[in-house]
Amino acid sequence: MHSEHLDGEGSSQPPLAKLRLFSPLQILFLSLFGTVLAGFVAFACNYQRLQQRRAFYVTLASGSILLPILTWVAITLPGIDRAWPIILAVLMFAMTELCQRTPIKTAFLTGQARPYGVWSVVGFAVMILIVVVIIGSVILLLL
């Protein structure tokens, strides 16, 4: 009975069949057009929806540490500012392929989950981008 709880059975999570997951290509799109923050959020959401709580929290913690560091690197290194978003987006895609490809592919092929629709992904990218622009503008005004 204890193992059932760890597997997610009996939890308040919806059944896996009703899940929507971000595909690796959608995470690449989000990382390119919604900033790498959107890619990290989508990556973490996949773990949460696959009921992998530990991986979800590790992703949130590492993203909270890595994103400020990566932003600082992009600001301080000369000449990297134009290529940096593309480099980060490709890294997010590679990380998704490496860490989540098998569970996502299995969930899609077995009909347990389906990818988000195009407009949902575009809307999510725009929403995160707006938040980043607002926060960035506030920071610049304060400096």
Which residue in the block uniquely carries the two structure tokens 């909270």?
64
Tell me which amino acid residue 38 is.
Answer: A
- Residue 104 CB neighbour total at 10 angstroms: 22
24-35 pLDDT tens trace: 999 999 999 988
Give me the torsion for CA of 109, 113, 118, 123, rounded to 10°.
-160
| pLDDT in the model for residue 2 | 39
C-alpha to C-alpha distance for 83 and 24, rounded to whole angstroms: 20
* The model scores a pTM over 0.95: no
72-115 pLDDT tens trace: 877 787 777 677 888 889 989 999 999 999 999 999 999 889 99
Tokens, residue 100: 């989540």
pLDDT of 8 higher than 50: no
